[in-house]
Amino acid sequence: MCQVHEHCECPGFRIERFIQPCLLLLLARKSAHGYELLEELRNLFFQGEALDPSLVYRSLRKMEEDGFILSEWATGGSGPARRVYTITEEGKVALALWAEHIRVQLQRFETFLREYSSVLEGRENRG
């Protein structure tokens, strides 16, 4: 259900699908470990939303299976070993395809909102 409205019946937004391009974009910037990616997702794309860490880690595993990212254990430094993720060339291609898909969807959403505003204005003018 909706991630924006507390008690809403709208179908909402499927966060599972949007996490993949967001993760690929973050990894195109630089390699990172899972917790760092989770924090960046919360800060950049999902402010104020409950972001399930298991969803992020499942997405990372799936993207690794698909060849979009690679991971390796980083054991240097203090603290426990962490898995560090890096985007692959195939992942960069997937990111470019996602960007084009999002661009097309954005145009559709803008058209929808223009038409919706037009309908609302028509109602207000009619009384």
Query: CA 95 to CA 87: how far, in whole Å?
Result: 10
How many residues are recorded in the chain? 127
Higher-pLDDT residue of 72 and 6 is: 72
Could you tell me if residue 1 is inside a domain?
no
68-110 pLDDT per residue, tens: 999 999 987 778 889 999 999 999 999 999 999 999 999 999 9
pTM higher than 0.85, yes or no?
no
Residue 8 within any structural domain of the chain: no
Q: Based on the structure, what is the number of domains in the chain?
A: 1
- Antiparallel, parallel or unpaired: β 69-74 and 82-87: antiparallel
Give me the domain span that covers residue 58.
15-126
Question: CA nearest 63: which of 16, 105, 29?
Answer: 16
* 5, part of any domain: no
- Asked, for residue 10, whether it belongs to a domain, the answer is no
Any idea what the CATH number is for the domain that residue 110 is in?
1.10.10.10
